[in-house]
Amino acid sequence: MNNKKHTIKDIAKMAGVSKGTVDRVLHKRGNVSKEAYEKVDRILKKIDFKPNLLASNLKKNKTYLIGVLLPDPKLESFWISAKKGIIDASKEFNPFGILVKEFLYDPSSKDSFWEQSQNLLKSNPDALIMVPNFLKESETILKTCKNANIKVITFNNPINTVIDYVYIGQDLHQSGKVAAGLIERIINKNDKIAIIHIDKEPHMELKEDGFKEYFKVHNPNDHDIISKTFSAVDDTGFNENVSLFLKENPEVTAFFITNAKAYKFLKVFKNKTNKDLKIIGYDVLRENTKYLQEGCIDFLIHQKPYRQAYLSIAYAAEHYLFAKSLPTHEYLPIDIITSENAKYHL
């Protein structure tokens, strides 16, 4: 590779054309004869020329708007670290013309999600980053963005669709299989397992499918697995329903809780039973970590919301600043958190 920095004047001289011709080829504007284009193109390939897109953007004062559709962290603490990832990435890329605007929605309200998505689209973004909690509405947003040539990145939750977009987060099906492998190691043969969805979202089914698939392959007849969904919008109703479930299913000895709300389940569970139950949950929220260190939760799977959000901004920014291709997905590691290593992930 030739590491010498070549100017437009150098390229023009080597190709035997004018500087104006080289400029038109590089920036794909104006009319250039086929012969002149081939001369310039041949030299560009020979010297492995890479245009300084960042300098070009700064010179033109070009800006790009990235709109972020995010659950309000004030309503769900899981999203606090995701918001921090967005803020940190925004600060990093802002000096280079990347503008980031957040649109926060109520994660329990489909209407709030839709309203904020429309507000975002009205801002005419170059890229849209979202946590697609509502499948039908998210698919409609994807179609709108495709027609408007707006790049779309989702994080934490994928969307099952044929429309092109970028997903950043864990392989959720594999995550469910990891949870199953963990729980199998700490329960006895014939123990009954409950998969618990709290405020169920479509992506949780991927975890459930992976969990069940693991046991179909490994000792399929050893464990009875049931699934139960609870709404935590109303604390009183949630507490009553969980208490009733525990009372009606005393034979359940292990729980797989498919999101970051294990602590909500534990608040009820600790008051209703002293049995030595096994629990696998998600994410190092302080409430979850407290129960982990007390031995009430056996393992947490860390979904890295900060990293998901940061990478979403970074990929979009680098696409526009450096013409980097966007991947179809970026799967993050499935980290297992125990009481011994939890403090290093807070």
For 290-333, the DSSP string reads: HHHHTTS--EEEE--HHHHHHHHHHHHHHHHHH-PPPPSEEEPP
Question: Would you state the pLDDT for residue 224?
Answer: 93
Does 128 share its domain with 236? no
Number of alpha carbons in the 13 Å side-chain half-sphere of residue 194: 22
Question: Would you state the pLDDT for residue 137?
Answer: 96
Q: Is residue 344 part of a domain?
A: no
Mean pLDDT of the chain: 90
The whole-number average pLDDT for the span 172-178 is: 98
Q: What pLDDT, in 10s, does the model give residues 20-77? A: 888 788 777 778 888 888 888 888 888 777 666 656 666 567 899 999 999 999 999 9
Q: Is residue 343 part of a domain?
A: no
Does 120 share its domain with 131? yes
Q: Is residue 90 part of a domain?
A: yes
Does 194 share its domain with 262? yes
> How far is it, in rounded angstroms, from Cα 265 to Cα 292?
13
Q: Is residue 59 part of a domain?
A: no
168 to each of 21, 95, 318, 338, how far by Cα in Å?
41, 24, 15, 24
Does 282 share its domain with 176? yes
Q: Is residue 337 part of a domain?
A: no
Q: Is residue 121 part of a domain?
A: yes
Question: Would you state the pLDDT for residue 262?
Answer: 95
Phi first, then psi, for residue 199 (nearest 5°) are 55, 65
276 pLDDT band, cuts 50/70/90, is: confident
Alpha helices in 189-249 (DSSP H): 204-217, 235-248
Does 164 share its domain with 188? no
> How far is it, in rounded angstroms, from Cα 143 to Cα 154?
14
Does 285 share its domain with 191? yes
The whole-number average pLDDT for the span 82-99 is: 94
Q: b or e along 259-275 (b: 16 or more beta carbons within 10 Å of the residue's beta carbon)?
A: bbbbbbbbebbeeeeee
The whole-number average pLDDT for the span 136-164 is: 94
1 pLDDT band, cuts 50/70/90, is: very low
What would the two tokens of residue 329 be? 């997905």
- Based on the structure, what is the number of domains in the chain? 3
Question: Would you state the pLDDT for residue 44?
Answer: 80
The whole-number average pLDDT for the span 77-88 is: 96
Does 128 share its domain with 192? no
Judge whether residue 147 has pLDDT over 90: yes
Question: Would you state the pLDDT for residue 57?
Answer: 63
Does 126 share its domain with 270? no
Judge whether residue 311 has pLDDT over 80: yes
Lowest mean pLDDT among 52-66, 184-198, 225-239, 313-327: 52-66
Question: Would you state the pLDDT for residue 33?
Answer: 87
Q: Which residues span the domain enclosing 96?
A: 64-169+305-332
> How far is it, in rounded angstroms, from Cα 126 to Cα 278?
46
> How far is it, in rounded angstroms, from Cα 215 to Cα 151?
38
CATH of the domain at 105: 3.40.50.2300
Does 195 share its domain with 266? yes
The whole-number average pLDDT for the span 196-222 is: 91
Lowest mean pLDDT among 56-70, 156-170, 262-276: 262-276
Q: Is residue 324 part of a domain?
A: yes
Does 218 share its domain with 278? yes
> How far is it, in rounded angstroms, from Cα 46 to Cα 251?
72
Does 27 share its domain with 70? no
Q: What is the pTM of this model?
A: 0.82
Does 294 share its domain with 177? yes
